[in-house]
Amino acid sequence: MKNFTVLDLIDLDLKDHNSLNLKCVAGRKGLQRIITDPEINRPGLTLSGFFNEFAYHRIQLFGRGEIAYLNMLEANDTMSAVEKMFSYQLSCCIFSQSVTPSKKLLQIAENAGCAVLQTDLTSSEFTIRLMRALNDIFAPKKVIHAVLVEVFGIGVLITGGSGVGKSETALELIERGHRLIADDSVVLKSVNGSFLMGSGRNEMLGHHMEIRGLGIINVSNLFGVGSIRDKKQVQLLIELEIWNSDANYDRLGTGDITKEILDVQIPLIKLPVKAGRNIPILIEVAAMNERLKKLGYHSAQEFDDNVLKWLESKNARSLYSNKNDIF
């Protein structure tokens, strides 16, 4: 991962209930400092002069309490702990609820080259939003060569070798009313290690597709904004491969195969491509089947259970109908 600096934190393009509303009030030199630890420290203990185990590399968040304490220190002219605190390589300091720190503190931060940021949010709300944003940034990431589409609400990641028809399949799915998240290179992020979030790599160039023979097309302009989506959880993996008559393809669908990506298990379906097999429709059915499974109805399993029941009842009946048996 590229180094994530304080400037990158201010620059984050987060909307509505995710926005951090940060601005820099002092210590512009410190904007280049790198954030290495996706966690927050409330520096109450530090201000009181206790420096053991001081997590200085974390983001320092000053809430109402810390600010009141700072004001008291300044009134008593006992700022030595504050000066000592800024002698550490702090990643940055953030003041919540639009509080502007005193001139003295800003001067200390300026001299130490540590950025002082301000937000209008309350400390607890800011903490939640910041943790969410940092978790996202520091999440394990992987870029893969694939297409991500949303089919009937299921995030379907289509993979396969170059030229097997991933983009063409996705295009037909879009044409049938489904949505494109990313074509060609998909960024996968493991969220809390529990699920995979997929998105495009570049928002400015996103939602374009390259179709051999047509060139580059803009999906949102051609099919409308309803045909695109920024990110989606990956819930199903479709692996396209050229039909191989020697290979053994799954005929029942009772054995649930999964593939591990970034330590997350994703259901996997291998689809052989051959003339006469309409891949987009197969993917639609696979997505609907996946939804059914989530609702607790497993088509193949249910079918097998019914066959077993039927054979059982036939057995029971034959007991009575077999004339040679003596009761």
Partner 1 sequence: MKQETVTIKNRAGIHARPAALIVRTASEFESEIFIELDDMKINAKSIMGIITLGANYKSILQISAEGEDEEDAVSAIAKLFENRFEED
For the annotated catalytic residues, the residue numbers are 145, 166, 184, 251
Contact of 147 with 166, CB cutoff 8 Å: yes
Nearest-angstrom CA–CA distance, 261 and 146? 13
Instruction: In angstroms, give the least distance from the CB of 210 to partner 1.
Output: 5
Q: Which residue, 100 or 202, is less far from partner 1 as judged by CB? A: 202
**Interface residue list for partner 1 (CB under 8 A):** 1-2, 143, 145, 162, 183-185, 201-202, 205, 208-210, 216
Taking the complex as a whole, how short is the minimal distance between the CB of residue 1 and partner 1, in angstroms?
A: 6
Taking CA 215 as the corner, what is the angle to CA 209 and CA 217, rounded to the nearest 5 degrees?
A: 40
d(Cα 108, Cα 125) in Å, to the nearest integer? Answer: 27
Of 206, 82, 76, 189, nearest to 136 by C-alpha is: 189
Give the separation between CA 295 and CA 126, rounded to whole angstroms: 36
Query: Quick one: angle between helices 80-87 and 103-112, nearest 10?
Result: 30
* Cβ distance to partner 1 smaller for residue 1 or 75: 1
Contact 205, 236 (CB under 8 A): no
User: CA 306, CA 53: separation in Å to the nearest integer?
Assistant: 63
Question: Residue 113 Cβ, how far from partner 1 at the closest point, in Å?
Answer: 26
Cβ-based nearer residue to partner 1, 18 or 202: 202
Which of 6/219 has CB closer to partner 1? 219
The structure tokens 């079918």 sit at: 303
The secondary structure of residue 207, as a DSSP letter, is: T
